[in-house]
Chain A
Amino acid sequence: MGLFMSKGEIVAGCLAPHPPHLVYAENPEQNEPTAEGGWEQLRWGYERLRESLADVEYDAIVLLSPHWQTYIGTHFLGLPKFKSLSVDPVFPNLFRYHYDLSIDVDLARQIHDKAADAGLAVKMMENPDFRVDYGTITTGHMFNPQWDKPLVVLSSNRSRDYYSVEVMQEMMMELGRVTREAILASGKKVVVLASNSLSHRHFTTESAIPEDMSKEHITSHAMHLWDMRMIEYFRTGQSQRILDEMPEFTEQAIAESDGGGLSWLLSTLDIPNYPGILHGYGTIIGTGNAIVEWPERNHKEGSE
């Protein structure tokens, strides 16, 4: 019995984008600026994602954000608590968020150790003065505004910048494989979140009222076509095609998958061939953002 009890589980994996505009538009008490709404399609999408998991029990959230950028391997937040003020260096007018979050350091270390065994460069981040990036906090807030679950936070290894999308993906596939192994071995139930936009061409000007939705649209038809192509693959369980087309997608759509999150997520989910649930799609300063859930809890056949 003990053996079966200790079996960990990934209850769901989600693509969960993080533009700070979403938190800004929600007006939570933790964020200093106030907005008159905006980006509702995506915020309703997050609402549907939260509802979808409302009755599902899990112990921790494992999250990779492209805005903790590291060039020397993958890093993991490695202290039990982080409490501070996160100010977005690009949109400080929208995002100044007072956060107080807890980390599942054991699980972080287990993934770290397995990654190290697999030959990946990894490091635990144990400096108490470290400030958590706005991507982690935006996705963390939108997914779980109560902040009542501990997180495991992985940095974005910029191997794409140093080498290529192909090399990045190879490393992220390996990182995903060991992430899955560590979760299953941990005995914990976990939700995995990749925090990135799809097409990532954005406007270089901001309207006087940032939440003026009359100004919001995709930057070009080509970006729309790429986003819809990826969403079609999400919805029809064609993960392998996503991975196969990752270099073209990342380069042509300047996609935020360059940070490795999407490749890592699909690998952590063992390249799912069941449909993902599209909870929402919308643009933010012109970038394409989809909220997608792969409900692994409903697709457990052959997962040994």
Chain B
Amino acid sequence: MSDGELVGSYIVPVHPHTVLAADQNEGWGRLRDAFGEAAQRIKDSGADLLIIYSTTWPSIIGHQIIADPNPEWVMVDNDFHDLGSIPYSFNIDDKFAHAWNQANENRGLKSRTVAYHGFPIDVGSVVALKLLNPDNAIPAVIVSSNVYANRAETTVLAKACMDVIKATGRKAVAVTAMSLSNRMFTKPIDPKDDKIHSLKDDEWNRKILEFLGEGRLEDVGQLSRTIHRQIRVNKVVAFKPMWWLSGMNQNRNNLTGEVLAYEAIHGAGGAVVHLDPAASGAGDKEYDEDDVEYFLGERNVLDAQSDETEIVSEIVSAKPSNSNGPALWEPTESKDSVNSAAAPKPVGAYPHARRVGDLLYLSGVGPRQPGTNSIPGGPIHDADGKPLEYDIKAQTHAVVQNITRILEEAGGSIDDVLDVTSFLVDMDRDFKGYNEVWAETLGKVGPTRTTLAIRALPTPIAVEMKVIAKAPSLE
């Protein structure tokens, strides 16, 4: 059996106007025609599977995948109910849905299938399947958009999907059901007066479409957070479908793109875009975000920085801080203690550091992040003690950062470190990575060092350092 592959990708708008009211506005009609063109191209590609990632189906417990082989109901939009009803009866590939669900779990994602009679298939998926697959000739799957998923989680979701496509030899088409700018008019409008809500939204939409027209999908993926801030109203789901679609395309930036239509739908930006996997030669890849194979369950860990416009940062602090490890303490206060709100909280009654004469003695410093208590590089085991994959280099970097914070709080700097005792819970696995980060950081400062292997640390971390530093002068 030949390897499965993605034979095409499409971006399509979500609102029901293209199905129910294409004759009421010329733009809606052009979008409808573009859907028809896309449907023809999909047919011609010989695709045997349609995969819909829909932004109008939010989920909060991981991702959900429709696995009812024949979901049937009548869809009515929450806002545009006066345009009419859309009865649907779809042909779902439940075997693929179950396999994808399993592949998600294999890659560390939370995932479940949904096969309940009467489950409300969302408007974006209904519109996409009605118009791209009008005779249900191609079996489909639909996946939700997780409200909290960051780029790492969304990328891994795509990789899990590709695992199944490859293993089953499918010729798949990936579809994201989404708006570009999503601000609608907040009052009813006459259909003939429809236009993009603002010039700024229009300009951003055109920029995005210029990139997509050149096949630069990964560039749009990497701009997702910026796009979200610029032209997205905070509805339930942030602008993340490009992460998924780019993940489905090996994060490529040189696809062959074509914008089939771009129009306003009640003020929001709606486009039909075709991305063919054939290399266009355009867009040399400039890849500057981590590639991620496996999701570690710590939603802030794998992204280079957390982004305040995502709900990601909220969910980290929403986790009880002692869910995986001992309770946290306020650092103890005494005459010579040095404590920093910018360092992680202690796990017992001790200060962050204590000054004795010209020397500063630091309590053991680990990688936990102040405030969120999350562990860069991931915890080494979950709350039940089950081992997890983790990144020793990220943990070591975080330790050095925490040491820097404490020393700066005391009025000094990392250059004051004199002597370090390092503790590793897995010398065989971790010494190399730890040593590399040491060389780039403290190695340049030049303290004496002792490295010990120990059985465990009180929190699910792999590295901790005990530091003695020169105390800054008291003047």
Contacts and interface: CB of A to CB of B under 8 A. Distances in A.
Interface of A: 32, 68-73, 75, 85, 87, 89-93, 96, 121, 123, 125-127, 129-131, 155, 158-159, 161-162, 201-206, 217, 219-220, 254, 286
Contacts of B318: 201-203, 219-220, 286
Interface of B: 57-62, 74, 76, 78-79, 81-82, 84-85, 110, 112, 114, 116-120, 122, 148, 183-188, 233-235, 266, 299, 314-315, 317-321
Give the interface centre of A90, A92, A204 by most chain B CB atoms within 10 Å.
Answer: A204
24 contacts: A68-B78, A71-B184, A71-B235, A72-B185, A72-B187, A72-B266, A89-B58, A89-B119, A90-B58, A96-B116, A96-B117, A96-B118, A127-B82, A127-B84, A161-B234, A202-B60, A203-B318, A204-B110, A205-B61, A205-B62, A206-B61, A219-B319, A254-B314, A286-B318
B61 A87 contact: no
B85 A72 contact: no
A254 B315 CA distance: 11
A204 B148 contact: yes
Nearest to B119: A87
Contacts of A123: 82, 188
Give the interface centre of B78, B118, B119, B320 by most chain A CB atoms within 10 Å.
Answer: B78
A257 to B, nearest CB: 16
Nearest to A33: B116
Given A127-B85, A204-B62, 18 more contacts: A69-B78, A70-B78, A70-B79, A87-B116, A92-B119, A96-B116, A96-B117, A123-B188, A129-B74, A158-B235, A159-B186, A161-B233, A201-B318, A204-B60, A204-B148, A204-B299, A206-B61, A220-B318
B119 A90 contact: no
A254 B2 CA distance: 49
Given A68-B78, A73-B186, A205 B120 contact: no
A162 B61 contact: no
Contacts of A89: 57-59, 119-120, 122
A247 to B, nearest CB: 15
Contacts of B235: 71, 158, 161
Nearest to A120: B187
Nearest to A133: B78
A129 B76 contact: yes
A72 B321 CA distance: 40
Contacts of B117: 85, 96
A201 B320 CA distance: 11
Nearest to A202: B60
B116 A162 contact: no
A205 to B, nearest CB: 6
Contact of B118 (A72, A87, A205, A286): A87
Given A70-B79, A72-B188, A202-B318, A90 B114 contact: no
Nearest to B236: A69
A155 B77 CA distance: 13
B81 A130 contact: yes
Given A155-B78, A204-B110, A72 B119 contact: no
A131 B86 CA distance: 13
A57 to B, nearest CB: 34
A72 B320 contact: no
Which 3 A-B residue pairs are closest in the complex by CB-CB distance?
A201-B318, A129-B85, A85-B118
Contacts of B78: 68-70, 75, 155
A285 B389 CA distance: 27
A207 to B, nearest CB: 11
Contacts of B84: 127
A92 B59 CA distance: 11
Contact of B59 (A68, A90, A131, A162): A90
A71 B120 contact: no
Contacts of B118: 85, 87, 96
B183 A162 contact: yes
A273 B397 CA distance: 55
A102 B446 CA distance: 78
B61 A204 contact: yes
A201 B312 CA distance: 12
Nearest to B87: A129
A18 to B, nearest CB: 15
